[in-house]
Structure 1
Amino acid sequence: MARTPVFLALLSLVVVASALATTADARKMVGVYVLKKGDFSVKITNWGATIMSIVFPDSKGNLGDVVLGKDTLAEYVNDTSYFGPLTGRVAQRMARGRFVLDGKVYHTYINDGRNAIHGGHRGFSKVIWTVKEYVGGGDSPHITLYYRSFDGEQGFPGDLDVYATYSLSSPYVLSIRTNATALNKATPVNFLQHTYWNLGGKGSGNILGHTLQLFASRYTPMDDELLPSSGRVVPVAGTPYDFRTPTPIGARIRQVTGSNKVFGYDINYVVDGEGMRKVAVARDGASGRALEFWANQPAMQLYTGNYLNGTKGKGGEVYQQYGGFALETQGYPDAVNHPEFPSQTLRLGQVYKHDMLIKFSF
């Protein structure tokens, strides 16, 4: 869910500096890292812990990239659509950028109308992560990224140590493991991974024909600012939000409106069950590609690229509305302002863990 303007300069200096840096220093510069296992490959940058591409075959053996994104690092720095990053310290929207924790009022950076989104204008998606470990090939290709979020960053309390590990396993499985530790103060924490998927690959058009199944029988209704202001959790049965059986994404999309009366899904689901479990399955009939998404979080946002509108993408592509969809596993949005929701407050001595597993097939 996209849409926050950020203009950061001097990326070219960072990239040039990385070429001149020592090995240790280079790990703190912006770079591109490829994980490869046979004909399955994932490209990642430590700018925002961002997934830049995922390539694997279709049913005819043709390789294709199923992730929307940009061509250059400079374009990712100035990206306003959140193509592929890890967002935090608190992802999704926070009402008025304000919350109360242990009797103290905190104000975070407002960057979405009257509210905050995805951690502020310089959230985790807009910082350089340190490369702690990188193995590009072999039996276990992986990269581990680290970020120290400082006390007061974007208005959030306390220092926070954050790790994100992306790894490949066979056959065609991407694992994403994130964790965070509050070092000196309690703080709200809620990460999400914001990749846009189009399983048809480059030039395949929109995703309205993809079938989607969500293992979620409830959702949180949103107001005109896409906030769960009522605090209600209601059944999907009998609504356009019901994807409990495989359904084309476009089947009922004209019955759903988000902010600015734009048609499309931008809604939080409450995932059935607990712990690591299957949360979604998506399939593109034309290419035969499919993904199965597993996660350990209580909720998940479905976003259907409603605000992509002539957005410049990779390889000369122009992404139009519904050009991709995102499955964003998460805690309940704005939970810090809703005591009726499961808490997203991380206390001293606790470790936040958000694990995802994506199984691809064709």
Structure 2
Amino acid sequence: MARAALLLPVALLLCLALAGSAGAERKMVGVYELKNKKGDFSIKVTNWGATLMSVIVPDSEGNLADVVLGYDTIAEYVNGSSYFGALVGRVANRVAKGRFVLDGKAYHLYSNDGKNALHGRLSFSGSSPSRMDHDVIASLMISPSGFSKVIWTVKEYVPDCDSPYITFYYHSFDGEQGFPGDLDVYVTYRLSSPYELSLHMNATALDKATPVNLVNHAYWNLAGHGSGDVLGHLIQVFASEYTPVDSSMIPTGQIAGVAGTPYDLRRLTPLGSRINLVSGGGAAGYDVNYAVHGEGFTQVAFLRDTASGRAMELWANQPGVQLYTSNWLKDEKGKDGKVYQKHAALCLETQAFPDAVNHPNFPSEIVRPGGVYSHDMLLKFSS
């Protein structure tokens, strides 16, 4: 395994204990870069939350910009609550009342979104980044923090090849976040030519049946992070159905057609033309799961920024995709001194249906002992 190309300043090197490990294996948090041979396409990731920190791609004039929202320091990711670029699990999105029944046994999760569980972790309000210390970090690590708030092991890091990649590993223990069974989890970020970023997520259930729904929670702004809102972006979602939700953002169980509703994005549509016609949890904007057309690996969505000419195709093998238009961002200090506001980006989170574990009519997210969960994403950038 190659060493990290980029390491944090000494003051920010976090040597932390793995949650739940009796041996208290200590690890260093690092920042790792993957770059194409031409040098005009690169990403940075960290093993804190297996997080995607930056994606730099050219526009139609060859100008480079970072097109994902994020922070400058790992300390800010530790304290952050917006899941910028994080790998979310064991079960992303919402679980109603933090409860489900599997094989006749009831399981209770940690409710962090009203009475519901969201993204598998507790909300955390700790010290400011400038006052981060080991006691704060330790308190995070022993809490049911979720996959986005733990240190992942770097299993492979191969930056110097035609298709550079990095693989992170995390062992989720039986009872973590309230979920049953031990789970081995891997995620690989890989660059391919000309401008393709792929993510492969897989998880093996070792001893008990368990729900699994892993999500990459990147916030996209193809004009560049901090450039303003994304209301001028054109979007297309390849889905003719969606899953309506109640007032607490829990699916009703219905799978409804998008035809005749503001959720119909089957044709290329300016995002700003519909943004005030929909709401998620009381805030104007999209926060909804779409039922993706077709089965297997298929195109999920298309996004274009007309000003820069940058475009992004999203392909995946999951039954759903959550479109979230950063409705709750407000005065969030991000990279390079930028301050992110409402609608500063959008998320396209390929996933199982939210609360699938409580809706037998939804595609199952249960992985049986010895079974493997596999989630593939491909992002194709162009200009």
TM class by shorter chain equals over 0.9
Residue 315 of structure 1 aligns to a residue whose secondary structure is helix
Aligned counterpart, 1:209: 232
Aligned counterpart, 1:343: 364
- How far off its partner does 1:348 sit? 1.2
Of 228, 235, 249, the residue aligned with 2:257 is: 235
Instruction: Rate the CA distance shift 1:135–1:196 in 2: closer, same or farther, 3 A.
Output: same
Aligned counterpart, 1:5: none
- How far off its partner does 1:74 sit? 0.2
Of 298, 301, 313, the residue aligned with 2:334 is: 313
Instruction: Tell me, yes or no, if structure 1 residue 195 matches structure 2 residue 206.
Output: no
Aligned counterpart, 1:117: 118
Of 276, 300, 317, the residue aligned with 1:254 is: 276
Aligned counterpart, 2:168: 145
Instruction: Tell me, yes or no, if structure 1 residue 34 matches structure 2 residue 25.
Output: no
Instruction: Rate the CA distance shift 1:12–1:339 in 2: closer, same or farther, 3 A.
Output: farther
- How far off its partner does 1:113 sit? 1.1
Asked if the contact 2:69–2:226 (Cα under 8 Å) also holds between the matched residues in 1, the reply is no
Instruction: Rate the CA distance shift 1:158–1:65 in 2: closer, same or farther, 3 A.
Output: same
When normalised by structure 1's length, the TM-score is 0.92
Instruction: Tell me, yes or no, if structure 1 residue 71 matches structure 2 residue 72.
Output: yes
Which consecutive aligned stretches of 4+ in structure 1 deviate over 4 angstroms post-superposition?
A: 11-14
Residue 250 of structure 1 aligns with an amino acid whose one-letter code is G
Give deviations 1:181-229, integer Å, cap 9, x for gaps. 000000010111100000001442100010000100000001111110x
- How far off its partner does 1:349 sit? 2.3
Structure 1: gaps spanning 5 or more residues: 1-10, 19-24
Residue 250 of structure 1 aligns to a residue whose secondary structure is helix
Aligned partners of 2:189 and 2:55: how far apart in 1? 12
Instruction: Tell me, yes or no, if structure 1 residue 88 matches structure 2 residue 110.
Output: no
Aligned counterpart, 1:286: 307
Aligned length, in residue pairs: 344
Give deviations 1:230-256, integer Å, cap 9, x for gaps. 200011010000110000111111111
Aligned counterpart, 1:3: none
Instruction: Rate the CA distance shift 1:16–1:151 in 2: closer, same or farther, 3 A.
Output: closer
Structure 2: gaps spanning 5 or more residues: 1-8, 17-23, 123-144
Aligned counterpart, 1:176: 199
When normalised by structure 2's length, the TM-score is 0.87
- How far off its partner does 1:138 sit? 2.1
Residue 272 of structure 2 aligns to a residue whose secondary structure is coil
Instruction: Rate the CA distance shift 1:26–1:357 in 2: closer, same or farther, 3 A.
Output: farther
Asked if the contact 1:163–1:180 (Cα under 8 Å) also holds between the matched residues in 2, the reply is yes
Aligned partners of 1:336 and 1:210: how far apart in 2? 34
Residue 111 of structure 2 aligns with an amino acid whose one-letter code is I
Residue 33 of structure 1 aligns to a residue whose secondary structure is strand
Aligned counterpart, 2:128: none
- How far off its partner does 1:27 sit? 9.3
Aligned partners of 1:17 and 1:132: how far apart in 2? 17
- How far off its partner does 1:14 sit? 7.2
Identity %: 65
Computed over aligned residues only, the root mean square deviation of the Cα atoms, in angstroms, reads: 1.7
